[in-house]
Amino acid sequence: MMKISRRGLLTTGAAAGVLAASGLPLRAQAKKGGRLRAGLSGANTSDSWDARTHSDLFMIASAQGSVFDSLTEIAADGTLKGELAESWEASPDAKTWTFNLRPGVTFHNGKSFGADDVIESLQMHVAEGAKSAAKPIVEPIVEMKKTGDLQVQLVLKDGNADLPYLLSDYHILMYPAGQIEEAIAKGIGTGLYQVQSFEPGVRMVATRYADHYKGDAAGFFDEIEYIAINDNTARMNALMTGQVDAINRIDFKTEALLKANPMIRIQEVTGNQHYIFPMLTDVAPFSDVNVRKALKYGINRQEMVDKILQGHGKVGNDSPIGPANQYYQEMEQLAYDPDKAKFHLKEAGLDSLDIDLSASSAAFEGAVDAAQLFQASAKAGGININVVQEPADGYWSNVWLKKPFCASYWSGRATEDWMFSTAYAEGAPWNDSHWGSEQSPRFQELLVSARAELDSAKRREQYGEMQMILRDEGGVLVPMFANYVQAVSSKVANPDTVGNLWQMDNARMAERWWMA
- Binder of other proteins out of 92, 110, 262, 429 (CB under 8 A): 429
Size of the site for other proteins (CB under 8 A): 48
Q: In this structure, what are the phi and psi dihedrals at residue 443, rounded to the nearest 5 degrees?
A: -60, -50
72 DSSP β-pair partners: 82
The residue among 274 and 508 lying less far from other proteins, judged by its C-beta, is 274
d(CA 334, CA 352): 21
**Taking the complex as a whole, how short is the minimal distance between the CB of residue 41 and other proteins, in angstroms?**
11
Q: Is there binding between residue 264 and other proteins (CB under 8 A)? A: no
Closest CA to 265 of 496, 503, 22, 28: 22
The residue among 52 and 512 lying less far from other proteins, judged by its C-beta, is 52
**Taking the complex as a whole, how short is the minimal distance between the CB of residue 237 and other proteins, in angstroms?**
4
- Binder of other proteins out of 240, 269, 345, 450 (CB under 8 A): 240
The residue among 326 and 431 lying less far from other proteins, judged by its C-beta, is 431
Residues 159-188 that bind other proteins (CB under 8 A): 181, 184-185
Helix 367-379 to helix 289-298 angle (10° resolution) is 100
- Binder of other proteins out of 393, 438, 455, 496 (CB under 8 A): 393
The residue among 87 and 254 lying less far from other proteins, judged by its C-beta, is 254
What is the DSSP secondary structure assignment for residue 133, as one 8-state letter? Answer: T
Q: Is there binding between residue 25 and other proteins (CB under 8 A)? A: no
Cis-peptide, bond into residue 429, ω within 30° of zero: no
The residue among 25 and 391 lying less far from other proteins, judged by its C-beta, is 391
**Extended strands (E) in 209-281:** 223-228, 246-247, 264-278
Residues 92-131 that bind other proteins (CB under 8 A): 124, 127, 129-131
Q: Is there binding between residue 242 and other proteins (CB under 8 A)? A: yes
Answer whether 275's CB lies under 8 Å from 480's CB.
yes
- Binder of other proteins out of 53, 112, 151, 287 (CB under 8 A): 53
Q: Is there binding between residue 512 and other proteins (CB under 8 A)? A: no
**Taking the complex as a whole, how short is the minimal distance between the CB of residue 228 and other proteins, in angstroms?**
8
Instruction: Find the DSSP H helices in 348-440.
Output: 367-379, 395-398, 416-423
Q: Is there binding between residue 335 and other proteins (CB under 8 A)? A: no
Answer whether 293's CB lies under 8 Å from 470's CB.
no
Q: Is there binding between residue 358 and other proteins (CB under 8 A)? A: no
The residue among 411 and 456 lying less far from other proteins, judged by its C-beta, is 411
454-479 in b/e burial notation, b at 16+ Cβ within 10 A? eeeeebbbbbbebbbbbbbbbbbbbb
d(CA 507, CA 63): 9
What is the sign of the dihedral through the CA atoms of 217, 50, 177 and 108? positive
Name, in order, each residue with C-beta under 8 angstroms of 91's C-beta and a sequence gap of 6 or more: 97
Interface mask (CB under 8 A) for other proteins, residues 431-470, using x and -? Answer: ----------------------------------------
**Taking the complex as a whole, how short is the minimal distance between the CB of residue 378 and other proteins, in angstroms?**
26
Which window, 6-14, 112-120, 223-231, 341-349, contacts other proteins (CB under 8 A)?
A: 223-231
Q: Is there binding between residue 394 and other proteins (CB under 8 A)? A: yes
What is the DSSP secondary structure assignment for residue 17, as one 8-state letter? Answer: S
Give the C-alpha distances (Å, rounded to integers) separating 108 from 184, 196, 197. 13, 11, 14
**Which residue ranges make up the site for other proteins (CB under 8 A)?**
39, 44-46, 48, 50, 52-53, 124, 127, 129-132, 181, 184-185, 197, 199, 201-203, 205, 227-231, 233-235, 237-238, 240-243, 391, 393-394, 396-397, 400-401, 408-409, 429-430
